[in-house]
Structure 1
Amino acid sequence: MKKLFFILVLSFVSLASFSQKLINIDGSSTVYPITEAVAEEFQKIEKNVKVTVGISGTGGGFKKFCIGETDISDASRPIKQSEIEVCQKNGIEYIELPVAFDGLAVVVNKKNNWVKYLTVEDLKKIWCPESEGKVKNWKDVNEKYPSKPLSLYGPGADSGTFDYFTEAICGKGGASRTDYTPSEDDNVLVIGVANTEGGLGYFGVAYYEENKDKIKVVPIHNGKEPVLPTLENVKNGTYKPLSRPLFIYVNKNSAKKEEVKKFVEYYLSNASIFSKEVGYIPLPDEVYKLAKERFKKQITGTLFGGKAEIGMTLQELLKIEK
């Protein structure tokens, strides 16, 4: 009798596991906190759905997405032309949906008392390819700075943050010196800068907000005065050129599944709340309304022509979405 009971229990567990539906998501480490927060709450409502959220970077996420390995791809930049072509080759149609707005924070070690702000030209001098092997000391950046080793930490080449930053600062996506410590995990970058007196790095502002007790943010001077990447400055468009929209891309075939449809609808209905909770800028209600309509009508393709829009404001995003 005990044996029969045990078999019945095992059969029930196996059946429950088998009936559980899976939504597979991967991509941007920047978008990850929003998607993970949405996934956690969604799974409380839809208990028979399991949502997995990975971090391969925007580029790494699109590699999986465009061969049909994932249902949804998190992205901190619009899909590139090369990625569009891979998706087309594999018959993957996608729905592009903006979910939040973000700024990139440039950060230094807490003990750094010499940098009051950095200009875009300073960032070029620090990060662009021609600086490799030449700009190795803070004094190389500005002769007024002390002679201390400059240790750089930044996203890897598969990161949308890397693509966006290099295009905004160096004029071409992917144009960067290579003698720095790369990671797709922003927490690794935070730890690197926090543990190195001469450290400097960059990543999404939400990760700075989460770790501001460990590192220091640097104002960026690109006009009248130095500007901090506060939520208000990102929102009003004064923090340029390091502000950008964030996206999710949904496989059109996956969107036909009831669980994916429900998840995306839940995401768009609550993106404003969750993006604010994790330190990003919610989009205007009108943009979310347009995104919902876009998903409902299953409108595929990108509005951005396969390239990033540098320093875009919320108002400019709204014009594109219209």
Structure 2
Amino acid sequence: MSTPVIEISDLTKKYGSYTAVDKLNLSIEKGEVFGLLGPNGAGKSTTILMLMGLSESDSGSVKVCNIDPERNPINVKQKVGYLPEDVGFYDDLTGFENLMYTARLNSVSGIEAQKRSLQLLERVGLSEDMHKKAGKYSRGMRQRLGLADVLIKNPEVIILDEPTLGIDPTGVKAFLELIVQLSKQDGITVLFSSHHLHQVQQVCDRVGIFVKGKLLAEGNVDSLAKQLFNSGAYTIEVGLAANGNSEKTTLLNKVKNIETVESVQVEGDIWRIECTQDISNQISKTIIDSGVGLSHLYKKEYGLDDIYHRYFEGGNEDE
């Protein structure tokens, strides 16, 4: 079994009596896009600071690329690229000149620095604006230049802290597509901190739910739904034909006996079936085979918006 690229064990950080990160345990594999999801003050940024060796923990341990960031912060920074929500550049330098400057800071030779800079500007869609002053770049262009900036040293891990704030929808789409490419094509591990639910669900392989410094649950969206909801992870609504009441009684018992079905709510000819797996095909076949007409079938899967409501708006923050 491979060693995780990021491995956190019982990590805790306090500011006086306030616990910002509370016994965090987390493991992230190579090439994975992991989303840190939570409201402001949940502990996401504090965790990132400790991963980068920019803040010391009070207890626990953290390894990034098998390096302890507290003991070897310089070594970690050679392996990790960090993109904050507000990227700083020399505004009087062009995009190309800013990348060249970063390359030299990371001991990349002149010819190689130029080659990488041109390649990355092409990749992030800034080739036509490479000679424009960075101070004239839009918010979206600055974030794309920021992504090129963190990639100039060929990092194994990139950490993105609210990277899409203030970017228009078209820019966000292009930016997120780049993130997926870096993960799938280049094998770069991505830690994506955000409270934008749709974006996290769109690009992340797994998600960690942060509330008040604690990681309440982690996994892909399906597994999170199973962890966070008492009912099934899927709700399948079916509409039945308005006839055959005797057949419906028999059908109801058959549906209830299907494996993974947890409950059936009957409201006239509308049935809402809660189950732990997507068994819509089996349910529709059971209905049709029973001789009862099927007028419609609708499958609801819990997404991150439901999870957000469950924990951040639904009153369970203190659980």
Q: Same fold (TM over 0.5)?
A: no
Q: TM-score, normalised by structure 1?
A: 0.24
**RCO higher in structure (CA 8 A, sep ≥6):** 1
Higher strand share: 2
Task: Compare CA radii of gyration and give the structure with the larger one.
Answer: 2
